């Protein structure tokens, strides 16, 4: 299998896997005061330090969660629960966990939800976002990098405008962390979400950065874990694995990004030259180095993804968290694509484990599959 679906989930790094296996022996509850509990607590706190280093935070500003979805919900509901303004603002390209949390928070707290779409190029205009904040806002959320076409948004500028409007600022950095530099302080955000399995860590563990001094209403009562921000016994082995994945991502960031970007560009050139009638969505804006969303004219993205799976290539047609839904991607529609074109987009996402040989073979098979599907569609039906 040639795996080109790393924005959905990544291969666990061997060093992470070995560390998680060892951490399973830390069977004590991290909240217990005996020796076994203290061993587990020490491992959790060491991992917290590594996650904090990855995003330029203090360890006490990092709260472990079950993943990016929970971190986004914690941030949005916690911030939307209080404030003078009745308005909350987000981009139209957000992950479903942000989009749906915003909608539910607006209904629950009686707020006005304002959506700012990116430009057709894939870029987010900070002036448009700033205009949406006029009159004040309670919460603003702009993802650092889009999960479907890889667009990188100017969060630092958005955050500055949001602070002037009196809003708390949240960014979903799940796809960005480990692929581009992420510094919560430089960005000026109050809340930032992460997930381990997007950076070669285990599934089921993530983190929420909460800037010191920001008060959120906890949404998971029932215990004192994570300083009462999120009750429940910590996933010790997963957290330890997250810490190792964060350290490796930080150490390898520059080299990985450069190598993966070269392979991504090579893949795109080969596919566009070999298949014709195709274009890269969001190519006119800053993008993640590993992500390519390609629109194939006359081809169903779902049908192509299924065919490629049968030929040993794993790709996707949008967010894995919204798979199975019949509607086209809201993020792609927000770029101005019509419903038909939005359904013709296939996402290819690479990782540090992707090789040039895989890229060359994948581009050959993808181009061949596209041409064959077009020929079949053009052939006259038998009477």
Among 211, 209, 234, which Cα is nearest to 54's? 209
What is the Cα–Cα distance from 270 to 98, expressed in whole angstroms?
A: 35
Kindly provide the b/e burial profile for residues 95-128, where b requires at least 16 CB atoms within 10 angstroms of the residue's own CB: bbbbbbbbeebbeeeebebbbbbbbebbbbbbee
CA nearest to 93, candidates 65, 135, 121, 133: 121
Give the residue from 125, 80, 87 showing the smallest Cα distance to 105: 80
Q: What is the dihedral of CA 308, 310, 311, 316, to 10 degrees?
A: 30
Q: Any bridge partners for residue 251, and if so which?
A: none
Q: Find, among 119, 122, 133, 67, the residue nearest to 97 by Cα.
A: 67
> Residue 51: which residues within 8 A CB-CB, separation 6 or more?
57, 62, 194, 207, 242, 243, 246
CA distance linking residue 268 with residue 367, whole number of Å: 11
| Rounded CA separation 276/43 (Å) | 52
Cα separation values, 222 from 28, 145, 203, 228, Å = 20, 34, 24, 8
At 57, is the secondary structure helix, strand, or coil?
coil
Q: Where do runs of H (alpha helix) occur along 167-206?
A: 184-187
Distance, CA of 328 to CA of 8 (rounded, Å): 17
Any catalytic annotation for residue 321?
yes
Which candidate in 303, 320, 321, 333 is catalytic? 321
CA dihedral 258, 259, 262, 266 (to 10 degrees): -160
Active site residues: 321
């Amino acid at each position: 299998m040639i795996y080109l679906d790393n924005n959905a989930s990544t291969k666990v790094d061997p060093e992470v896997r070995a560390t998680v296996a060892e951490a399973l022996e830390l069977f004590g509850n991290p909240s217990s005061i005996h020796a076994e509990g203290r061993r587990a607590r020490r491992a959790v706190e060491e991992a917290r330090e590594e996650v904090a280093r990855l995003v330029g935070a203090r360890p006490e500003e990092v709260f472990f969660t079950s993943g990016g979805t929970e971190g986004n919900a914690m941030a949005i509901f916690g911030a939307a629960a209080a404030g003078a303004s009745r308005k909350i603002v987000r981009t139209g390209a957000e992950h479903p966990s942000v989009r749906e949390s915003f909608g539910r928070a607006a209904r629950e707290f009686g707020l006005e939800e304002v959506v700012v779409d990116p430009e057709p190029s894939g870029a987010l205009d900070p002036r448009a976002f700033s205009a949406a904040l006029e009159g004040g806002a309670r919460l603003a959320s702009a993802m650092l990098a889009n999960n479907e076409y890889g667009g990188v948004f100017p969060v630092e500028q958005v955050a500055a405008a949001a602070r002037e409007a009196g809003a708390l600022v949240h960014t979903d950095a799940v796809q960005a962390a480990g692929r581009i530099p992420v510094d919560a302080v430089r960005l000026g955000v109050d809340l930032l979400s992460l997930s381990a399995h997007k950076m070669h860590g285990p599934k089921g563990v993530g983190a929420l950065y909460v800037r010191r001094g920001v008060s959120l209403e906890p949404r998971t009562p029932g215990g004192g874990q994570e300083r009462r921000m999120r009750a429940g016994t910590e996933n010790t082995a997963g957290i330890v694995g997250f810490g190792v994945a964060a350290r490796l991502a930080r150490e390898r960031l520059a080299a990985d990004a450069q190598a993966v970007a070269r392979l991504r560009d090579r893949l795109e050139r080969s596919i566009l030259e070999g298949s014709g009638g195709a274009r890269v969505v969001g190519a006119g804006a800053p993008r993640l180095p590993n992500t390519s969303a390609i629109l194939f004219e006359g081809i169903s993205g779902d049908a192509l993804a299924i065919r490629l799976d049968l030929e040993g290539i794993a790709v996707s047609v949008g967010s894995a968290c919204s798979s199975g839904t019949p509607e086209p991607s809201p993020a792609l529609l927000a770029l101005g694509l019509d419903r038909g074109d939005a359904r013709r987009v296939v996402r290819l996402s690479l990782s540090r484990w992707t090789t040039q040989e895989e890229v060359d073979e994948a581009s050959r098979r993808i181009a061949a599959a596209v041409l064959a599907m077009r020929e079949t569609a053009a052939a006259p039906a038998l009477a």
